[in-house]
A and B are shown apart, each in its own frame.
Chain A
Amino acid sequence: MRITGPAAKPAAEALFTGRLEHRRVSYGRICDADGSTVDTCCAAYFRAPSSYTGEDMVEISFHGSPAVAAKLSGLIANTGLAVPAEPGEFTKRAYLNGKMDLARAEAVMDLIASSAERQRRAAARQLEGRLSGEIASLYERTKLALARLANAMDDDTGEVELDEAALISEIAPIKSEIHALAEGGMRSRILREGARVAIIGSPNAGKSSLLNALLLKERAIVTEIPGTTRDTLEESAAIDGLPVVFVDTAGIRSTFDSVELMGIERSRRAAEDADLILWLVDGSRPFSSEDEAIRAFINVERAVAVITKSDLENVIFPNENGEFYGLEAVRISAVSGDGLDALKKLVSERLLPCEGSEAEGLVTNVRHIGALEDALAALEAAENRLGDSDTDAAFYELNAAMEHLAAILGRENPAEELVDSIFAHFCMGK
């Protein structure tokens, strides 16, 4: 497996435990998101320009099973620092950077020709049937919305009104369908790789106790002194048959203690990375300014409120709708075990909300999920720009969304198709 480009080193460092030094091969482990070892391997780092491509490059040699290869490329893509390469991309870069020697040329050309064909066949297989149909439909509709916008912008007769609101309502369903597809992709990832659930809350809100109760073992140190858990702890458990990685974070607390500050920073990051956040609030004590500070950075769409210590006399309760600060809430006691089953049920429901969803598992290719997410982000930006009547920028974003979808479908010339679409749907010109 090879990574090239300025982010090659940070991307590799995100998963490889060994030290990367220029022109040195080092031994280490490739770690999964939960810290478990995927494979032991060797990695070599080459600093630009002394590499095959002429860019920073990392080559990882592992125990070549296709499953490990797939896992590894998924992990690399998940760092957000790298994307899967196009066929022949390395050679292209090597050429563009002026690195390619004659001896290797013939062999490399053979390799490219055969591997491109393999990739083409694989992509075609993946895109057979429903997924292809759904993405093609999304692509066509995005293209039509863009054609409508382009027609209004290119019109110089004053005949075509630009109706931003209509366009926004045209984009909205496209967005939610892409969201469902990408989400379905996430769902299949969760089934395959497990979900990340972050446990956060004020010091001594009962985070470690809850983790222990869920795991039925004493891993985290539980004390009466706030701020005991300094490192994040990661533990795997099956919740309703679903593989879940629980991340116990340090108590988030205003403090000048530098070790603890590092812990807090980790907590924030764990909360950002998590598929679901369990926000713990001590039910036996009044809501504190620390609780408020934590609430402020929680992504409400991905969080559940857990009111702890129901075995003690409580001063904090969910409202009559079972909510706390707008979040679904559950009361538990890690000591008595009350509410733990309800919490587990809630966790599994929230992680896989739509049992047997239409979109489930349709999108499994890492590159496709990435392209869908990019298309979604571009559509959101297009909506915002349209809302601001920023037409030029809206066109740019909508066009980007169309190109991301075209890339999944392998459409070569979306720009030309757009022009065709404008002429097919709109009466243009003098």
Chain B
Amino acid sequence: MTDFDEKFDIAVIGAGHAGCEAALASARMGLKVLVLSIDLDSVALMACNPSIGGTSKGHLVREVDALGGEMGAAADECFIQMRMLNTGKGPAVHSLRAQMDKRRYHERMKSALENTPGIVLRQDECASILTENGSVSGIVTALGARYACRACVVSTGVYLNSRVHTGEYHRDRGPSGLASATLLSDSLDALGFRLRRFKTGTPPRVARDSLDLDLMDPQPGDVPIPHFSFMTDSLDREQAPCYLTYTNTKTHEIIRQNLHRSPMYAGAIHATGTRYCPSIEDKIVRFEGRDRHQLFIEPEGLSTTEMYVQGLSTSLPRDVQEAMLHTIPGMERCRVMRYGYAIEYDCIDPTELDASLGSRRIPGLYFAGQINGSSGYEEAAAQGIYAGMNAALFVKGEEPFILSRSDAYIGVLCDDLSVKGTNEPYRMMTCRAEYRMLLRQDNADLRLTEKAYRTGLITPARYDRLMRKKAAIARAKDALEASVPPSEALDKMLADKGLAPQRGSVRLSALIKRRGVRYTDLAALYDLPDIGAEAAEEIEVEAHYGGYIKRQEEEIRKLRLMDEKPIPASVDYTSIVNLRTEARQKLSAMRPGSLGEASRISGVSPADIAVLSVYLMAHSDKR
């Protein structure tokens, strides 16, 4: 086929949070990248909530940043409020959340795409993906253009055959009244992907001037202002508050009386919603006993009066939405600007993908974001950079970049999706990360930046910064090995923290393990190097969790042994007679890349793994 209009290395289909990171990563790795968006005014659109981060999602943003991604830096530029959450619940679940100016975020990301060499950003819809000899060879667009490419990242978000619902109103639309993408599903189907319908929803937006904000609790941002990117030094700006209010029994009564008009309950939607982000009508039905639910009223930006009603996602009819809003303290007279809606869309079964988010069957075809059955901007961005890196490495003929469950939340996310699959829009949660004592948001750079160095995504400035931080930590650890005699000053510092006085000489490394003792407390008393807040935090967390960190490292060592035993793609599971039938079927369908991956597939028992390992040994000997 030589009739292509233009040739690219990689085509990225969709420019949402996944597509943007995928495009930036592959272009920064030196490739020529085409980015198609159905509407250039919706690049990196925050179609739902105006915030980035939160529990476990904040971890993902920091990991994307540590890999050289864009989301963290963009959030640091466009935030209107920052809060570190869960500070009372232990360092492993500290999470940063930022309220965004949505408009600015879109412009900031679009500008990043426009100004990155190698990216061609174009408004068009992908109609089909072409293959040659079973591998990706190009795409055809709705406008009839034919583009050659060797890899393709499908990041269509919620746009594939999407349909929105508000009460009795049902239309084939994308989010926010945008067009839906109606052509690509058939092509995916023809390529052998089984498509499923998932559903999500969004709450109404109301006019700020119609609210009595005085009746709500203002929620200010943190000062000093924390930041996402490891490249950001400090932030200083006026922050905008959010406002807290609650639903009440009157609200719930209105919802109950109108449940039959909800498209979900009336049977108009045939898609699976997420349990994580239930609509208000779901909450009322499932948690009947609760007489109120919390709502956050969040600004959508500084140049608009639109306010997002977090906690009130709904697809009830227009009049019901207004009636329920008017029962809420501070919203009695509120004016709706956009009504809430539910949206259903096509997505693939992510167990079609391997550990690099590439198709198990079609070389060069990668998927990222909500098309994989995930939910959330951060989950999308994380998959985006990961799929983008791997598509680029594929084109370059290099080994894929794989993050395991013990490396990163991104590893947990991609492993969960590609090995276990999901039956609902998948949301990251800290309890899904079994090694979360190690996978903290504070050490994402220490975990990932060096690992990603070979991809070329790590700038010299970022690398230098990491090396300085590591050197500072090492210096401080050396200095903490010093022993100090008991002293009045030491006992006073300990007493201030409610700790018992020190008897006899003690190593500083033992003192910092005591509850509440900070590096700076010791630096004030003894000769310790000035290492900066981030390095000090590492030292403190490690001291606090030392024993648990060691235990988790030991667990990981065992996991690695299994994960490092590859299973060749050529294995014919049907010929391994001693595998149980269920295991044989599951393994044939999933084709795991390693023994570790195989062991995490449900329905594959330890005995099956033993049988498989023996088979593998025999197999490799025969060759």
Contacts and interface: CB of A to CB of B under 8 A. Distances in A.
Interface of A: 86-89, 91-92, 95-96, 100-102, 105-106, 108-110, 112-113, 116, 150, 152-159, 162, 388-393, 395-396, 399, 412-413, 415-416, 418-419, 422-423, 427-430
20 contacts: A88-B611, A92-B609, A96-B613, A100-B617, A102-B618, A105-B615, A155-B55, A157-B311, A159-B294, A392-B92, A416-B602, A423-B275, A427-B287, A427-B293, A428-B275, A429-B274, A429-B278, A430-B277, A430-B311, A430-B313
Given A153-B86, A427-B293, A109 B92 contact: no
B85 A156 contact: yes
Given A113-B611, A154-B431, A415-B434, A88 B578 contact: no
B606 A156 contact: no
B610 interface: yes
B95 interface: yes
A418 B55 CA distance: 17
Contact of B427 (A155, A158, A429): A429
B276 A391 contact: no
A227 B203 CA distance: 83
A105 B578 CA distance: 12
A159 B276 CA distance: 15
A389 B49 CA distance: 32
A415 B429 CA distance: 12
Contact of B296 (A95, A155, A157): A157
A89 B283 contact: no
B611 A430 contact: no
B489 interface: no
A429 B606 CA distance: 36
A92 B430 contact: no
Contact of A391 (B90, B277, B565, B621): B90
Given A112-B610, A391-B93, A423-B276, A105 B618 contact: yes
A131 B583 CA distance: 29
Best-buried of B88, B286, B605 by chain A (most CB within 10 Å): B605
Contact of B91 (A392, A399, A413, A429): A392
The 3 A-B residue pairs with the shortest CB-CB distance in the complex, in nearest-first order: A88-B610, A392-B90, A116-B607
Contacts of A430: 49, 277, 310-311, 313
Given A158-B85, A395-B431, 7 more contacts: A96-B561, A96-B613, A154-B55, A423-B276, A428-B275, A429-B275, A429-B427
Interface string B76-102: 000000000110111111010100000
B299 to A, nearest CB: 16
Nearest to B562: A96
Contact of A392 (B427, B545, B562, B606): B545
A88 B609 contact: yes
A158 B295 CA distance: 11
B54 interface: yes
Given A116-B605, A392-B90, A429 B277 contact: yes
Nearest to A159: B294
A95 B613 contact: yes
A153 B296 CA distance: 19
Contacts of B610: 87-89, 91-92, 95, 112, 116
Nearest to A115: B607
Contacts of A429: 274-278, 427
Given A109-B578, A428-B276, A91 B55 contact: no
B430 A153 contact: yes
Contacts of B606: 86-89, 92, 116
Contacts of B93: 153-154, 391-392
B492 interface: no
Given A391-B90, A392-B545, A427-B286, A112 B95 contact: no
Contacts of B503: none
A152 B88 CA distance: 11
A168 B602 CA distance: 33
B432 interface: yes
A424 B284 CA distance: 14
Contacts of B275: 423, 428-429
Report whether over half of chain A's contact residues are helix, strand or loop; otherwise say mixed: helix
B578 A113 contact: yes
Nearest to B202: A430
A156 B91 contact: no
Contacts of A418: 431
A153 B55 contact: yes
A429 B622 CA distance: 53
A86 B93 CA distance: 34
Interface in B242-290: 274-278, 283, 286-287, 290
A105 B437 contact: no
Contacts of A91: 610, 613-614
B54 A112 contact: no
Given A113-B607, A393-B90, A413 B617 contact: no
Interface string B595-623: 00000001101110111011111100110
Contacts of B333: none
Contact of A156 (B97, B283, B290, B603): B97
B607 A396 contact: no
Contacts of B194: none
Given A89-B610, A156-B85, A429-B278, A396 B437 contact: yes
Contact of A393 (B97, B293, B545, B622): B545
B527 to A, nearest CB: 30
A428 B613 CA distance: 41
Contacts of B286: 427
Contacts of A110: 578
Nearest to B435: A396
Contact of A154 (B420, B430, B611, B617): B430
B405 to A, nearest CB: 11
B89 A152 contact: yes
A95 B274 CA distance: 41
Interface string B385-420: 000000000000000000000000000000000001
A430 B425 CA distance: 14
A145 to B, nearest CB: 13
B611 A109 contact: yes
A230 to B, nearest CB: 37
Contacts of B443: none
B162 interface: no
Interface string B563-581: 0010000000000001000
Contact of A157 (B89, B276, B294, B618): B294
A400 to B, nearest CB: 9
B284 to A, nearest CB: 10
B56 interface: yes
B465 interface: no
Best-buried of A87, A152, A392, A423 by chain B (most CB within 10 Å): A392
Contacts of A399: 434
